Structure formats: structure tokens, C-alpha cells
Amino acid sequence: MSFIQVRDVWQAYGGRSIIERVTLDVSEGEFVSIVGASGCGKSTFLRLLLADERPVRGTITVDGGDVAVEPGRERGVVFQRYSVFPHLTVRENIVAAEGFNTASGWLFGAAKRTSRERADAILARIGLNHVAEQYPASLSGGMQQRLAIGQALTAKPRVLLLDEPFGALDPGTRVQMHDFLTELRAETKMTVFMVSHDLEEAFKLGDRVLVFDKPRWDPQDPGLYGATITYEFDARDGGMPYQHILDRYPSLKPQAEPAPERLLEPA
């Protein structure tokens, strides 16, 4: 049995189909990038992996267990989007992330001091050491994003869910965060799912790139059908050059808004 098993998963909100027929096997330690048009259900899929919500149909197991029974951190699944605690300072957030690995969730005495030192080293690595005493709300969007990634990575989860983690970062910081993620991944063997709108990034970091799209479309009833995995690419060793993919699959070209003609595509 594969480490993560997704079997015929469907999700719908208020009678609107979002995801349908998603079946997937992921081995431990794999990095899975997910791309697809805006609003096609990529974040919804991550929430289902976290067991933050239940699918209307189908099952998801992590290491043989039902994520819905022991959701989130108990199964070692961490979602970067929800990881930062607003009432803790930047440094305390990193220290707290280390505590997730202890039985009680708390660190005391010498363990806490060394954890604080390690936190400062991590903050230096992600360029946030100068704001260690501040609260997340006082940081810029890009800094908050960096903190969320740093914090989620510090927890060294078995499964890390990243939802457009590098979106608000300038190109230099983005590369720095890619390196940080790659190094920690090599150290921990963690399994990663990353939603990204940047194909180059998806191929650079991922072992596999999954494309979510709606293979069926009813113009009279846009909510009738959901998105599913329509393509999968092997991205190891650089994979297929992403420019080539853009030529073959123009629907993957970045779009600020879904293009109107997209709605008229045949089923």
C-alpha cells in the first residue's frame, strides 16, 4: 500500500461539484507539485489531505490510516497556510513548531533554550532574525509567508502541504526559500504537496507535477462537473522542459483571471 492513497475522491459545495474522481498514490518522500487554473479546486484538495473537511465521496489514507479520524498534526500533516499563531512572536512561532514533535507539545528548561538558539538560526536563514520579537500581524505579506514556511518546515512534518507558498516573494528571496525547502527535505524525507501557479517552480522543486482541470464542461450548468487530475508529468532530473509543456498544453499558461473563451471549451 502506498504511503498516501487517494481513492475516487469527490468534493462539492452546495450542489456545485469542485473535485471529482481523484485517485492518486504517493510514496513517502515524494514532492508532488499541483498546477491548474484558478478556482479549479487545488486548495480544496489540500484541505481534504489535511482532513480539514471530508470528501462527499471517496477515501484518503496516510500511512494506512484514515486522515479524517486523526487529522492534521496527529498524523504529521502540516498545512503552511494555517500554521502561524498570531498571539506568538516570530521567534516563539518557530520554537512552538519544534514543540509539535514532543509528546506534550511543550519544551522546558535547557531544551527550550537550545530550541530558541535553533529558532534564531532558522530565522537568520529565512531573513527574519531582525523581527524575532515582533508579532506576525506587524510583518509584510512576504515576511508572513516566509514565517509560515519556516514554521511549517521547522515542525519537520511527515507530510507538508504548501499552498502557493512563494507567491508574494521577490525573485531573490524565492530562490533562498527554495534552497531552504530543498535542504530540509533532504534532511527529513518529508512528503510534500505544493500548489503553485509558477510552472517553472513546480518542475524545479517537484518529482511529479499534477495538472488539475475540468475534462467535462456544461456551459448551461458550470457547477455540474468538477476538476480532476488530467495530466501527470515526471519532473525528476528537471523533467520535461516546462516551456515545451506550455506549447503542448496552452491551458496551463498563467492567467490572472480565467479567460472567457475557456468557458466555451468543448467537453
Q: Which residues bind ligand ATP (CB under 6 A)?
A: 13, 18, 36, 38-44
Q: Between 3 and 249, name the residue whose CB sits nearer to ligand ATP.
A: 249
**What pairing do the DSSP bridges indicate for beta strands 191-195 and 208-213?**
unpaired
Return the SS3 of 261. Answer: helix
Q: Between 38 and 182, name the residue whose CB sits nearer to ligand ATP.
A: 38
- How many Å apart are CA 19 and CA 41, to the nearest integer? 6
* Shortest spacing between CB 38 and ligand ATP, in angstroms: 4
* Shortest spacing between CB 181 and ligand ATP, in angstroms: 20
* Shortest spacing between CB 41 and ligand ATP, in angstroms: 4
Query: SS3 string of 203-249?
Result: HHHCCEEEEEECCCCCCCCCCCCCEEEEEEEECHHHCCCHHHHHHHC
Amino acid at site 167: G
Q: Between 186 and 259, name the residue whose CB sits nearer to ligand ATP.
A: 259
- How many Å apart are CA 139 and CA 149, to the nearest integer? 14
Here the cell at position 9 is 475522491
* Shortest spacing between CB 79 and ligand ATP, in angstroms: 13
Is the CA virtual torsion 38, 243, 161, 68 positive or negative? positive
Q: Between 49 and 128, name the residue whose CB sits nearer to ligand ATP.
A: 49
* Shortest spacing between CB 178 and ligand ATP, in angstroms: 20
Q: Between 36 and 165, name the residue whose CB sits nearer to ligand ATP.
A: 36
* Shortest spacing between CB 13 and ligand ATP, in angstroms: 3
Helices vs strands, H then E, count in the chain: 7, 10
* Shortest spacing between CB 22 and ligand ATP, in angstroms: 12
CA nearest to 237, candidates 188, 203, 209, 199: 203
Name the CA radius of gyration of the chain, rounded.
19
Could you give the strand order of the β-sheet that contains 191-195, starting from the edge strand earlier in sequence?
77-79, 159-163, 191-195, 31-36, 208-213, 228-234
Q: Between 36 and 239, name the residue whose CB sits nearer to ligand ATP.
A: 36
CB-based burial label for 139 (10 Å; 0-12, 13-18, 19+):
middle
Q: Between 32 and 107, name the residue whose CB sits nearer to ligand ATP.
A: 32
